[in-house]
Every structure is written in structure tokens, then in C-alpha cells.
Amino acid sequence: MTENSSAARRSVNDWLPATVVAVRSEGAGTRTLSLDVPGMRPALAGQHVDLRVTAEDGYTAQRSYSLSSPAGAVPLEVTIDRLPDGEVSPYLVDGIEVGDRLEVRGPIGLWFVWRPEQQDPVNLIAGGSGLVPLMSIVRTRATMDSPARFRLVIAAREPARDLYRDELDELELENEWLSVTRLYSRRAPVGDERGARRVDAAELASLVHPASSSPLTFICGPTAFVETVADGVAQLGHEGARIRAERFGASG
Amino acid sequence: MGVFSPGFRGSRRDEDVRIPPGQYLERGFPVLSTGATERISTADWRFTVTGAKGETRSWTWDETIAVGLETVNTDIHCVTSWSKLDTMWRGVPIDPFLDGLDADATHVMVHSYGGYTTNLPLEDLRGRAWIATEFDGAPLTPEHGGPARLLVPHLYFWKSAKWVQGLQLMPRDSPGFWERNGYHDHGDPWLEERYSSF
């Protein structure tokens, strides 16, 4: 048997040993881990993986994390937000280092994914660290020729919490297919005429591709944010099956 | 092969025999859905069961409640790895809705308002499933599937379809929404039937 055929038999349900090959701070309490996972099948844009960490006495804990790297990327990347009462995220943000090992299962999910053959306009609406899987989708689009036009709306508490800021600025500058809007809820940067407030339906209507252009809309963020935004988008006449939501519930 | 993560200790707060493998204890109640929340009034709500031969029967909200609410105290398990212990629900047992319509059927497709579907073997419904209308002493909110969701607590919670609209009895198995989108056909948390292997 060749190595390829044994890799092909691995199921999404199998835990695969992985090594941390790079870490990158993304701002306070947030870090990106690059993981080398031999034998893992290529991911689609927007999928997630389960990570399992094991203490020296064999105690294990596992959580799901969205991929931030583009479809098929090797090594793959996850961006993790530290939750104050979390069991796993504090270790992944502050503890684990290059060369350390953990286990990975996946990639998982075939609904919250963007496929390169999809040519329709795309709305991406992120609340906080809900930007992570949407970044995977943007990075995937950036690697290929596609007619799909992207509108990315990022809601964050304050500018200090901006994820992937420099990279998105550059992508927007270089690519006519991408527009990025940032909305702040608690504190806006100096000179931002909008000021700091929560996003509402009227504002959404002015920012997304309209229902008449049959866009696909991906929404990811904390539950309350996704509820508000998904309701708002549905009220603008977007078909239910074209609104794809992923909610970040409490998950430590 | 042992893969240890140096320096990881864990909180050990989740060591309880009621928590299935790979799950952790959640005290909140996370919301997970595929799109926008459906909002259906009890006046408009209908529950429709279609037999394997195509015959259908429908119940209004009042007719459904009249079947008789039971209190269900149970643990629930989400495939995203959280489990919640000792949750309290009120709901109507599913069995009376199947009676007389389940000839030649082995499986059921559950249909929801908004188009969500999920499939189950008939034997996972009988005596083990409810149409739930209350959670924690209050009417079920739309975010959690109100006015009524299916409650099948012995399987991962995506089988407990929110905004339940009806059941379609089937002579053979057929995948529902998540079952076509990467998740396991059956979903037993004690066997960790999380993802489809294709």
C-alpha cells in the first residue's frame, strides 16, 4: 500500500497527532497557531477542527476552533481567543509553544463553507472573533481568479480589538473585489464619523449586497450578534437558505 | 501513541459519569442554528405527520398540548462538545403522533419551519422523544426552537430539531440537513458518533 492510500482511509473522526510549527500574537488575548498535521485531508474555506490537549497524567480536553487559513493550506492555522474562565483556550493562547504537540480532528462542516466554484456575490458579517472563519474565506478568494465580489463587515468593540487589520487593509487596497467596513460598538477611532454604536438593520441594508443580486451571506459571532444580524438580513428579503450563520456560544 | 501537551493541566471540573466522552460541562445554554431564527406563533403552528404510504394527519397547537404534557428531566449533549446536566423540559410524548401511521416505516425525517431536516430510526423516537414546549419553567423561546422543538435527549442535540413542523415516516433511511453536511447519520454521544466518515 502506498502512503497516499493509507492517508485516504483516515476518517474525519480520527484524532491525528499535530505539532505547533509557529505561533503569532494577534493582539491582547488572541493568538494564531500554525499546525502541522500529517495525513489530514485538505480543508474547505470556513471549516473548523477539533483540538485535543492531553495532560501528562492522561487527562484530556477538546474544543472546536475555526480555521483562519485558506482552503487546503498546509500548515493549517487557527486563531484562538482566550476566554477568561476557559479550560483550553488560556493554554492555547498563553501556554503552548512551537514544537509542542496536540491532536487534531477534522476538517469539519460542509454548510458554513465557501466553495471557489460559487460565483455569486458574498456578504461576510463578523462580530468580534467571528471574523476567524470569514478570514479563511477571504484568504481563499484572494488566492484565485473568481468573479465573486465580497463585502466584509466587521463589528468590534474597539479598534484595539481589530483582528488581521494590516492584512485586510492591504487586500482591500490591492483587490477591487473586496470592500471592508468596520463598525465599532463601544469606542470608535478618532475621526470615525459614525461613532460607537451597535449595528442595526438600516445600516446593514446600506452595507451588504442586496437580495436582488442573490448573494450568499455568512454571519459569524457571539449568539446575540448573530441573532440580530441574521434577523436583519432576513428582513431585507434574503432567502433563508442563503443566510449561513455560525454562533460562538460559551466555549472554553 | 501518547501525545502530551507540556504544561497543560486542565480544570478537572468536568469529571462526572453523566458526561459522555469528549464532552465538557456547560452551565449556559449556547444557541446553534444554521441561519436566522424562525418565528412562528402558536396560532399558526401545525404539527403534521406523513405515513410511509403518504397518508397525513395534522394537529393544531391546542390539540398537541391536549395530548398531555410531561415533565422531562434530562442531560443534553451538543456535538460541539458541551453537555448540560439536569435540564428541565415540558413536552408531549411523540408516540401518540406515530400511532396508525408507522406501518412499513423504519426511519423518520423530521421537518422544521425554515426547512431544516434531520433523520432518525423510528426506534430512537418511540418512548424516547417529545415535542417540547417549555424549558426551565417557561415557554420555549424562538432562539431555542420555540414554540416547539423535538426533544431526543439520548442523541446529539442537532437531532432535537428546533421549530419542529412535522414528521415524515420512511421505509428506509435518508440523510437530513447536517447528516448531508458532514455529521454522523445516528449521533449517539456515548459512542461519539459525531461526524460522517466520508
Reported as a single tens digit per residue, the pLDDT across A103-161 is 999 999 999 999 999 999 999 999 999 999 999 999 999 999 999 999 999 999 998 87
Q: Assess contact for A18 and A35: CB atoms under 8 A.
A: yes
CATH code (residue A184): 3.40.50.80
Q: How many domains does chain A have?
A: 2
Whether B191 is in a domain gets the answer: no
**What's A92's domain CATH number?**
2.40.30.10
Query: Is the pLDDT confidence value at B28 over 90?
Result: no
pLDDT tens-place string over residues B160-177: 999 999 999 999 999 999
> What pLDDT is attached to residue A145?
93
Q: Which CATH number covers residue B80?
A: 3.90.420.10
How many Å apart are CA A196 and CA A189, to the nearest integer? 9
Domain identity same for A211 and A163: yes
One-letter amino acid for residue A30 of the chain: T
Give the distance from residue A106's alpha carbon to the nearest chain B alpha carbon, in angstroms: 9
Q: Extract the C-alpha cell encoding A2.
A: 502506498
Question: How far is it, in rounded angstroms, from Cα B131 to Cα B152?
Answer: 9
DSSP per-residue string spanning A29-77: TEEEEEEE-TTPPPPPBT-EEEEEEE-TTS-EEEEEEEB-SPTT-SSEE
DSSP B137-180: TEEPPGGGTTT-EEE-TTS-GGGS-SSEEEEEEESS----HHHH
The answer to the question of residue B66 being in a domain is: yes
Q: Which positions in chain A touch B81 (Cβ < 8 Å)?
A: 50, 62-64, 251
All three cell numbers of B193, joined, read 458518533
Torsion of CA A195, A201, A206, A208, to 10 degrees: 110
Interface ipTM: 0.81
**Inter-chain CB pairs, A–B, below 8 Å:** 130
Q: With respect to residue A117, please indicate whether it lies within any of the assigned structural domains.
A: no
B163 CA to chain A: closest CA distance, Å?
Answer: 14
**Do A129 and A36 belong to one domain?**
no
**Cβ contacts of B80 on chain A, cutoff 8 Å:** 64, 249, 251
Mean pLDDT of B61-76: 97
Name the β-bridge partners of B73: B88
Q: Give burial (CB, 10 Å; 0-12/13-18/19+) of B143.
A: middle
Q: What angle separates helix A131-142 from helix A165-174, to the nearest 10 degrees?
A: 40
Residue A12 to residue B36, Cβ atoms within 8 A: no
Q: Please tell me whether residues A99 and A209 are part of one structural domain.
A: no
- Residues A242, A203 share a domain: yes
d(CA A46, CA A25): 21
Positions in chain A short of pLDDT 70: 1-10, 249-252
Which range marks the domain in which residue A48 is found?
3-108
Does residue A126 share a domain with residue A100?
Answer: no
| Distance (Å, whole) CA A151 – CA A172 | 10
